[in-house]
Chain A
Amino acid sequence: MKNKMKHSVLITMLLMIATLFVTAFTVPSVQASASDNSLQQIKQKGYIVMGTAPDYPPYEFIGKDNGGSKVYGADIELGKAIAKDLGVKLKVKSMGFDSLLVALQTKKVDMVIAGMNETPERAKSVDFSKTYYSSGLSLVLNTSDDKKIKSYKDLQGKTIGAQIGSVQYDAVKKGIKNINLKGMENINDLILALKSGKIAAIPLDTAVAQAYAAHNPGLKIIDAKMPGQESSNKIAFFKGATSLENAANKTIDKVNKDNLYTKKFVPAAAKHITNNKSQSQFETMWQYKNFFISGIEYTMIISVVSVFFGIILGIIFALMRLSHNWLLHSISVCYIEFIRGTPQLVQIMFIYFGLGTIVNVPALTSGIIAISINSGAYVAEIIRGGINSISDGQSEAALSLGLSKKQSMQYIVLPQAFKNIWPALGNELVTLIKDSSLASVIGVGELMYQMRAVQADTYLGVAPIAVIMVIYFVITFTISRIMKHLEGKISHGTND
């Protein structure tokens, strides 16, 4: 009876926490346009933050920069022009295309320039500038399909792929009957799918399609000949940021007058598109070693710091869960169940975007916080299991000698528990290293992110994947070996 009541109280608490989360973080995004001082704010800051998804050459992509990497593209040139006219500096923030509008709404970025078109849905949550570049809809095909597909009409009944969240995706979805449409996040993945025959065509913006086709022998582009598919690239702003939008429109007017985008911005960006055709793939990968090294650094930073905090959180919440204090116990249960019951990817996005509405947390820190909190829940359960595996006799003997409960935990129970759970902790560490790749969605430059960058820059789909696979394996295998080695060393407990 009593237990049942506790149970329902617990469920109510969990639900309350969930509701609290939702209400706390949905409110700020509606507080728009009361008074628009967006332009003034930028000028006070002295810089403007532009959000973009750099896998879209020639508009935006990651290229090499004295051994490091940097975002280039015609859109970046436009961003620079706007910043210059405002008399401020430009800062570029990269993330997945899908995350861009959220970043804008949560004020992580001041504007989004990402080859983006206006749609009625998007217009509900953000404001759009004038058109700064118009392009058409093209189809990328395998050269062998040349005869079979001549326009969008020939796609009926076929499997095709498009980038999730893009206007091209919506266009084919609405405009072509009977197609089997596969959505993917990343254009490089689509190109791979096309080359391996999994999809028959990819609808892409013409300029983008040209860039990809030029770097992938065996691919060809054709005009989709789809009516009404003239695409108009626009800049997105926070809703109500009218003064900033007007200022940007002035720059766009100048740009359009002289046709600067096509004449100057695209060629300036194209210089940075690397041409690796004459080299072997291995040589190309070697040239990009600094990308991978920087990826390893970030992956290790995330992993090491998150493991540290994960274990601390794990110990705290394991002890809370084992505590006889009902409140501490319940808090711990809620935390563990909530974290284990939600996807880590969602947690990472929530911390970055959600927490970001209250305090400004950089992507790397957000990633580390989210991964530590996630790991803490799993470690807590491992430690709880470890503590339960130690016989009561051990702590009773300690208490009978006059040690406090804390001392008994510290000197007797935890050292033995850690010895027992060492292999499980090793697994958790390996899992954490692998899961750190999820931080790439918020633009943390770890291995996965660097792989995307190398893919976008080299137009090589598989080689970068193979490289990071090997790197991940070497890291995790080394860690497993080290843990095994240490396991032998601690097999007879630590002498505090």
Chain B
Amino acid sequence: MEPMIKIEKLTKKFKNNTIFSDINAEVHKGEVISLLGPSGAGKSTFLRCINMLGEPTSGKILLDGKDLVSSSEKELIQLRTHIGMVFQSFNLFENKTVIDNITLAPIKVKGMSKEGAEEKAHELLKTVGLDDKANVYPDSLSGGQAQRIAIVRALAMDPEVILFDEPTSALDPEKVGEVLSVMQDLAKKDMTMIIVTHEMEFAKNVSDEIWFMDEGKIQEKQAPKDFFENPKTPNAQRFLSKMI
């Protein structure tokens, strides 16, 4: 089967500083990938290249065969609607209520009716247990609530894949579980996900594949069991020994 996302020879430099180079990778429909690596390895930079929030220096990113890197601005907007993203710092729109946060893009980008978009938003909010927050502004939410709503906001666009950049790192420890359980539910429903995380237990239990990134390369791509029990590269071994 054709991969949903195909990354070819992807390179990113900031001025003369090469963050990563010539990365090749594939993600198939329904797969959950956990992207691990030490701080500063370039995980966020890599993830932001996938939806072109950061422009790669060279290489290709194919979504269902269409290259994002060489797309026009207009095509890019269209392609981005298929790629959701969840940020470490939630980034809920501070000038919009929860329901408006969720319905803005479906209405303005997909042209859904306000009623249709809101009905759908309420359904999604119920699945994360936050329908009672529909009309509040983000600043009155706890971190865990905000992140669950950010996930709902991404889901409201019916994306083919969702990118997560350390979705639980900014949370109080007791709130981490509620967000991870939402993500776990998504994995069960065969949502395709690429997750940058430092939650090793979660990565081990939920992922189909672990990608280990360091020194400008994805050094290992393994099933979780293999990666955690038998890391091949010394860098991965060192990384795991620090994590556990």
Contact = CB atoms under 8 A, between A and B. Distances in A.
Interface stretch (B27-35, B79-87, B204-212, B234-242): B79-87
Given A400-B53, A400-B85, A401-B153, A494 B93 contact: no
Identify the interface centre among A401, A404, A416: most chain B CB within 10 Å of its CB: A401
B51 A400 contact: yes
Contacts of B152: none
A399 B80 contact: yes
A416 B110 CA distance: 24
A404 to B, nearest CB: 6
A401 B53 contact: no
A401 B80 contact: yes
B70 interface: no
Interface in B107-139: 108-110, 137
A400 B95 contact: no
Contacts of A394: 91, 93-94
Interface in B57-94: 73, 77-78, 80-81, 83-85, 87, 89, 91-94
B241 to A, nearest CB: 33
A147 interface: no
Interface residues of B, number: 29
B95 A492 contact: yes
Interface in B90-104: 91-96, 100, 104
A488 interface: no
Given A402-B81, A411-B104, A495-B100, A396 B91 contact: yes
A415 B137 CA distance: 15
A460 B110 CA distance: 69
B228 to A, nearest CB: 30
Given A403-B109, A411-B108, A495-B100, A398 B87 contact: no
B196 interface: no
Nearest to A417: B95
Chain A interface size band reads 20 to 34
Contacts of A415: 95
A398 B153 CA distance: 11
Nearest to B110: A402
A275 interface: no
Contacts of B91: 391, 393-394, 396-397
Nearest to B153: A401
Contacts of A396: 53, 87, 91
B151 to A, nearest CB: 12
A412 interface: yes
Contacts of A401: 80-81, 84, 104-105, 109, 153-154, 157
A494 B97 CA distance: 10
Nearest to A397: B91
A419 interface: yes
A491 to B, nearest CB: 10
A40 interface: no
B137 A404 contact: no
Nearest to B105: A401
A397 B80 contact: no
A419 B95 contact: yes
Interface string B139-165: 000000000001001100100000000
B235 to A, nearest CB: 30
Interface string B177-207: 0000000000000000000000000000000
B154 to A, nearest CB: 7
B136 to A, nearest CB: 10
Nearest to A404: B77
A398 B93 contact: yes
Nearest to A495: B100
Contacts of B104: 398, 401, 403, 411
Contacts of B83: 400
Nearest to A414: B95
Nearest to B95: A493
Nearest to B136: A492
A274 interface: no
A91 B131 CA distance: 72
Contacts of A412: 93, 95-96
A407 interface: yes
Contacts of B84: 400-401
B213 to A, nearest CB: 21
Contacts of B100: 495
Contacts of B85: 397, 400
Contacts of A400: 51, 53, 80, 83-85, 154
Nearest to A396: B53
A412 B153 CA distance: 15
Contacts of B109: 401-403, 407
A402 B157 contact: yes
11 contacts: A393-B87, A397-B153, A401-B104, A401-B105, A402-B77, A402-B78, A404-B77, A407-B109, A412-B96, A493-B95, A495-B96
Interface of B: 51, 53, 73, 77-78, 80-81, 83-85, 87, 89, 91-96, 100, 104-105, 108-110, 137, 150, 153-154, 157
Closest 6 pairs (CB-CB, A-B): A493-B95, A402-B81, A401-B105, A397-B91, A393-B91, A400-B85
Given A391-B89, A400-B51, 16 more contacts: A396-B53, A396-B87, A397-B85, A397-B92, A400-B80, A401-B105, A401-B109, A402-B77, A407-B108, A407-B109, A411-B104, A412-B93, A416-B94, A492-B137, A495-B96, A495-B100
